[in-house]
Amino acid sequence: MTNKEKYQQAFSTLKASRKLEMEDIEMSKNVIFTKAVAVAAAIALCFVGSNGICYAATGDTWVEKMIVYFNGEPKEMDVEVKDMGDGSYGYFMEIPEDGEYTMDVPENSSRGVAVITEEVPEDFQNSISNIDFALDLESDEMVVLKGEPLEIVTSIEVVDGIQWFCANEERVDITEDFADGEATGSILVSGKEYAYQLTGTVDEYSVMLTSEE
Amino acid sequence: MRQPVQELIERYQNSLFVAAFQICKNKEDAEDIVQDTFIQYHTTKKEYESEEHIRAWLLRVAINKAKNVNLTFWRRNKQPLEDYIETLSFETEGAGELFETVLGLPEKYRIVIHLFYYEEYSVQEIAKVLKLSESNVKVRLSRGRKLLKDALKEEWEDDK
């Protein structure tokens, strides 16, 4: 047997067992969109988690202030993050050394701080506390430096007509408050109180979470 | 061009499931990812050049979604991979060993190996699906093969 045949034989044992019907696809449409927005929100939230100021996020394109490292030298920049529509996020930023060069990283992003460097120094992880990943421009390699979980994941879930704003495992009934497309209040997440400001719709919302710290 | 979702489900559901499983190593997550991928196809108004283009797009989306799942902590209680593997029946002992060895490879090598040997994609096609350079794909393929050869010895031939 060739390697290819051996490989295909080995993985032929894996079979999808869920029966997918068009009805399921139609019904799940809204739920999934909300989930996608929640992921986007989480990325923005966690980036600024350390200083207590959180940015708004939408499900399409948003701008984050990120610390971008050029060969180890930090520089705060506006980075446009775009939901590429294929499950990945693109990071768009100008790289000073190259003038107007715009980088598109349609790779899987995690959260927080983007790092661009020709080489990741050995002590990089120790010297910078809040880096999630690095991109080695020479090899196009995305180097994941940390695999810590997202700090806060938000979503809006609708159960029996009640709209719940969820942050991690906590939730708040926003049915009446959100009827006009805006809702504010507070929610306790992991023992810490956050003020939330929601705008938009259940399917496409923006959320801003702030804490006192 | 576009094709009816139901036809694509029949044709590619299993292929997407195996690709997603390769990354997230969890059956339930992989099933969710496949469903999400078809939903995304259904809700996206994108036009495709050919069926091959649709297949590559579906694979890319499933792979990205699987990577995203790995980055979130909002995950269901997972069945340990070892327990799941015990429920599978392999045609030969070698097949089981190969299966486990592949799943033990680093993710970046694993998915390239998978697209090459399972989906029978060329280096050029893999580069397009994963949006990597061809040289990068070649490097990953070469390193992945070496790891397989080191682990499986004579059970894995030297690829030319």
Which candidate from A3, A9, A140 shows the least CB-CB separation from B132?
A140
A3 at the B interface (CB within 8 A)? yes
Which candidate from A107, A139, A150 shows the least CB-CB separation from B72?
A150
What is the pLDDT at residue A186?
A: 87
Task: Give per-residue pLDDT as tens, B5-27.
Answer: 999 999 999 999 999 999 989 89
Q: Give the model's confidence band at B70: pLDDT under 50 very low, under 70 low, under 90 confident, else very high.
A: low
B38 at the A interface (CB within 8 A)? yes
A27 at the B interface (CB within 8 A)? no
What is the pLDDT at residue A88?
A: 52
Report the amino acid identity of residue A50.
S
Overall average pLDDT of the B118-134 stretch: 90
Overall average pLDDT of the A154-171 stretch: 83
Q: Give the model's confidence band at A201: pLDDT under 50 very low, under 70 low, under 90 confident, else very high.
A: confident
SS3 A13: coil
SS3 A169: coil
CA nearest A5 in B: which residue?
B117
What is the pLDDT at residue B41?
A: 87
Task: Give per-residue pLDDT as tens, A53-76.
Answer: 233 334 456 666 665 554 445 566
- Residue B58 or A62, more confident: B58
Lowest-confidence segment of A3-7, A31-35, B88-92, B137-141 by average pLDDT: A31-35
Q: Give the model's confidence band at B141: pLDDT under 50 very low, under 70 low, under 90 confident, else very high.
A: very high
Is residue A113's pLDDT more than 60? no
Cα B107 from Cα A144, distance rounded (Å)? 12
Residue B50, min C-alpha distance to chain A (Å): 18
Cα A80 from Cα A179, distance rounded (Å)? 30
Cα B113 from Cα B110, distance rounded (Å)? 5
Overall average pLDDT of the B74-87 stretch: 72
Task: Answer yes or no: pTM beyond 0.90.
Answer: no
SS3 B101: helix
Q: Give the model's confidence band at B147: pLDDT under 50 very low, under 70 low, under 90 confident, else very high.
A: very high
Look at residues A59, A25, A168 and name the one whose alpha carbon lies nearest to residue B41.
A25
Residues of chain B found within 8 Å of residue A28, distances taken between Cβ atoms: 35-36, 39
Structure tokens at A61: 């394109």
Structure tokens at A76: 């705060």
Q: How many CA atoms lie within 13 A of B65 on its CB side?
A: 29
Q: Indicate the Cα dihedral angle A166, A171, A177, A181, nearest 10°.
A: 0
B160 at the A interface (CB within 8 A)? no
